[in-house]
Amino acid sequence: MTASRLPAPLLVGDIGATNARFALVDAEGKFDRTRVLVCDDHPTIEDAIAAYLGAEPQDAEHGSRHPFSAALAVASPIIGDQVALTNHPWAFSITALRQHFGFERLLVVNDFMANALAVPHLAAADQSPIGEGSAIAGAPIGIIGPGSGLGVGALVPDGRAGWLAIPGEGGHVTMAPASPRESLVLDRMRRRFDHVSAERVVSGPGLVNLYNTLAEIDGVPAAPYSPAQIADPSTCASDPLCREARDMFCAMLGTVAGNLALTLGARGGIYIAGGIVPRLGPAFAASGFRRRFEEKGRFSAYLAAIPTFVITHPHPAFLGLAHLLRAEATG
């Protein structure tokens, strides 16, 4: 089914712990009226959606902009009707949310399921390769993305020349050290957290955790940096501890991404999404990410053949949601 067979407009939303991003999808499948709302500015997800819809024009040119159907990508496991964000207080009932806004259909999926579904539809300009390797057509694909948390998902062939998206919670696997310095950091962090997951270090808050822990180990005062400040090239140039935290973040992401590639047999490639890595720019390509990705002993050659990409599309979850809505409508 093409987008024109679905009543337009459609609402798509990418709901994280920091920002809620919304757009409308027109009858041709194009995104329109993209807006980014700060989650903490709105008490509930209903308030955020209402704020977005209330800002949409109701004029002769556009007609009624109230969407008939919606799809939301949410940073949370989707197990039943009740959804609670992992790293934010928002919680809601899918059924109640659909009824509240009068949607004919409302799809709610894990955010990295939506990001995974976007991968087959990315243009060459929407992805930047990191390192060598060549994708094997039809082989599994992994996707991982540090932001307010650490999202993980996968695509596997469905046996009918298509793809099946697999949502997961791989960001909460136990983080393992790969160097003596990382061992010191994780040992110290275990004094504060009952479980030091990958998300505790490979995320925006994880950058702060790394920086603060390194300062504690070295016995120096920690500045009250935000994740964006720690990742900023100018801060890294002036503060060696910020630079070490950033570099450790990139290397640890390589560890987790390599584990994902081995677990999935992801010879179709590993894709990196999320808000942090694209902002690192050349520093990420020059970091220890790819070296650490490949450092798996007897399977180093296996991993060296797997390509890794940074997704540069501004809203890959929208792309995945739009295709999911159309696929669901075809039944």
Helix and strand numbers, DSSP H then E, in the chain: 13, 13
3-class DSSP assignment, residue 164: strand
Pinpoint the residues of the chain covered by CATH 3.30.420.40.
3-116+315-330
Backbone angle region of 205, left / alpha / beta, with phi > 0 → left and psi within -120 to 50 → alpha: alpha
pLDDT tens by residue, 241-271: 999 999 999 999 999 999 999 999 999 999 9
Average pLDDT for the chain? 92
pLDDT tens by residue, 184-224: 999 999 999 999 999 999 999 999 999 999 999 999 999 99
Residue 3 has pLDDT above 50, yes or no: no
Q: How many CB atoms lie within 10 A of CB 91?
A: 12
Pinpoint the residues of the chain covered by CATH 3.40.367.20.
127-312
Q: Which CATH superfamily is domain 3-116+315-330 in?
A: ATPase, nucleotide binding domain (3.30.420.40)
Confidence of residue 76 (pLDDT cuts 50, 70, 90): very high
Backbone angle region of 303, left / alpha / beta, with phi > 0 → left and psi within -120 to 50 → alpha: alpha
In this predicted structure, which of 19-28, 70-79, 268-277 has the lowest mean pLDDT? 19-28
Q: What beta strand segments (E) does 173-320 contain?
A: 270-272, 308-311
CATH class of 127-312: alpha beta
